[in-house]
Structure 1
């Protein structure tokens, strides 16, 4: 025997309806919490009671979930809407707005370059002048900042080179100290050799060898 499906309908008794609402509401909130924890899903649940009381659950933030839902439904375009006349009309309207914006930007660019100023009033020219002055001030401030950064980099390089120079001087000084004793020893040796050579008889004698022997 196959039982037929029971048709769901509104509970007529107000007390029974309120009790059922409380039970089903708590069960639904519990299931939403379990789904967010077990499956690491971002869940948002909003319930309004028959009397207008709000019950809500959100795994992160209700407002953030709503904003995410709005962004998702806004960016999502159904295929049937792409071929519809309303979608085509919307795209034509957006294209016309973009063309107007591009035209305004091109006109402003020409005016900043000093072109097409014949149709400008005195107030428009003054506004363009003020905008250019602000732009020049911003550019100059950026230029000064770049100069300062370059000066700081050069100062850092100067410190590095000065440290390297001091290290090289120290090494050169130590080498000189090692070589100086050897030079002094060589000088002393030369002095000793000179003194020994000075003891050699260098006196000259004129005459026969006999006279020389007598003199000695």
Structure 2
């Protein structure tokens, strides 16, 4: 009985993706070797892993094979620099795509999505990261509340001082006759009261 058909799409689980890469890379290198021996073909195979590590097989001198390939497709030395820059640009774009995919995947994990493929180790690591994140948020929240309370205390103190100052000014400008009318109560200004008490 033959193997089932594998759907060709990017493997989401990093561990499974790495295992598949290693197995298929070895298979590809073996096939390249067999082709060169069985058919006396000049074979050059170059593989770059997602982490940027390179693997290659050359049945002959690899530099010679690459130079021959360039001659065959009409690549001159003058445009080699441009091709190299283009390749560097492509590599940077690919790196950014992988970084973006990794961040999007991580973001989903933090919100509890797509975690069915994660193992116990990954789940524990995710839980630890979330716990650290929550503690940082709580710490920031406590600091902000404390700063706000201190600001309110300073404001209260300033208002209290202003109230005392206003009371002194009212006493200074109080008419002298108020003593003769029998009203000896001073006028108090309370910033939290709606009206003056006489």
TM-score (norm. length: structure 2): 0.48
Please say which structure displays the higher CA radius of gyration: 1
> Whose helix proportion is higher, 1 or 2?
1
TM-score (norm. length: structure 1): 0.44
Q: Highest relative contact order (Cα 8 Å, sep 6+), 1 or 2?
A: 2
